Structure 1
C-alpha cells in the first residue's frame, strides 16, 4: 500500500481543498500516466482531446509532469544514492533518505542564491487526526479516494 494513499485514508494528509467547475474536492490530486489505477486523486492525461480546451489542459498537464520528472532527475544526478535506493532499504529508511536529499538540495540552492522561496520558521502546520486502519472513518475516506467517478470528472471524461 502506498503511504500516500494510507495518509488520505486515515486523514493524516493535509487538506488541499479546491473547486473545479463548481464541484468541491478535498484531496490533492496527482498527475499520472496511464499505468496508474483510476482513483479520485489521480488525473491521467487525456488520450484524444477533442476540443481546444481539453487540448490546452492536456498540454499544461504534460508540461507539469515533465517539470516534476526533471526535478527528480536533478536530484538523482546530485545525490547518487537515489539512483540505487529501492533494493537496499526498507520503506522508512528510503523515505528518510529521499527527504534528506531534497532538504540538502534546497539548502544548496539557497546557499547559491537560487532558492525558490524563503524558509519561514514561524509557519505552523495544521494538526491532523489519525484514524485507525480499518475503522469506519478510514474506510469512508478510502471509498472517497478510490471513487472512479471523481477520477473521470477531474479528467474531464
Structure 2
C-alpha cells in the first residue's frame, strides 16, 4: 500500500501518528520481534550518527530553534557535506562523489486552512499508523539478509566505524 507521508523511527514517547513508526513494547510472534530488533537497531545507528556529528560540529549542540527551518536545514547540510569531505580526504569514503549529479530544488509548501486541517487529520489517524507499522513488519520479516546482532561481528570486513556509517547514511539522504 502506498503511503502519502514520510515517516520517522521513534521510541515509545511519541503519539501514534502516521509519520512515526514506533516499536512494539511487548512483541508477540517472530514477525513483531524481528521488526522490534530491526527498528531499534536502525534508531540506535541514526542516534549514534547524529551523536558523532554533534561531537565534531559545536553548532549542532546548541539550541537553534530561533533560526528557522530553512536555516537549520542549511546548517545540517553544511555539517554533513564537511563531514563527508573530511572522510573522503582521509581516504575512508565508501562511495564516490558524482560531480554531475544534481539535487532537485524543493519548493516550500503553502497550506491553507481547510487543507491544513485535512492533513492534520490524516497524520493523526491511528488506523493508518497501525497499517503502516503492520506493513513494515511484513516487509522486514520478508527481508532475509538483515543482521539482527546488536553488536558487530568479529569479521572486520562487515564492520563499519561510526564515521563510515555516517557517510553511508547521509550520502543516502543527499
Q: TM-score, normalised by structure 1?
A: 0.70
Query: Once superposed, what is the RMSD of the aligned Cα atoms?
Result: 2.6
Number of residue pairs aligned between Structure 1 and Structure 2: 134
Superposed CA deviations along residues 16-39 of structure 1, whole A, max 9, x for unmatched, are xxxxxxx22233221001222221
2:125 equivalent among 129, 147, 151: 147
Give the structure 1 partner of residue 50 of structure 2: 72
Q: 1:104 is matched with which residue?
A: 82
* Structure 1 residue 90 corresponds to structure 2 residue 67: yes
CA contact (8 A) 1:46 1:155 kept: no
Describe the shift of the 1:73–1:123 C-alpha distance in structure 2 as closer, same or farther (beyond 3 A): same
Map of 1:56 onto structure 2: 34
Aligned to 1:34: 12
- Pick closer, same or farther for the CA change 1:26–1:94 going to 2, 3 Å: closer
Quote the Cα distance in structure 1 between the aligned partners of 2:36 and 2:14: 17
Any unmatched runs of 5+ in structure 2? 138-174
| Aligned-pair CA distance for 1:138 | 5.0
Normalization by structure 2: what TM-score? 0.64
Which ranges of structure 1 fall in alignment gaps of 5 or more residues? 1-22
Q: Distance in 2 between the 1:116 and 1:142 partners?
A: 40
Aligned equivalents of 1:97 and 1:126: distance in 2?
18
Q: Which has the higher helix share?
A: 2
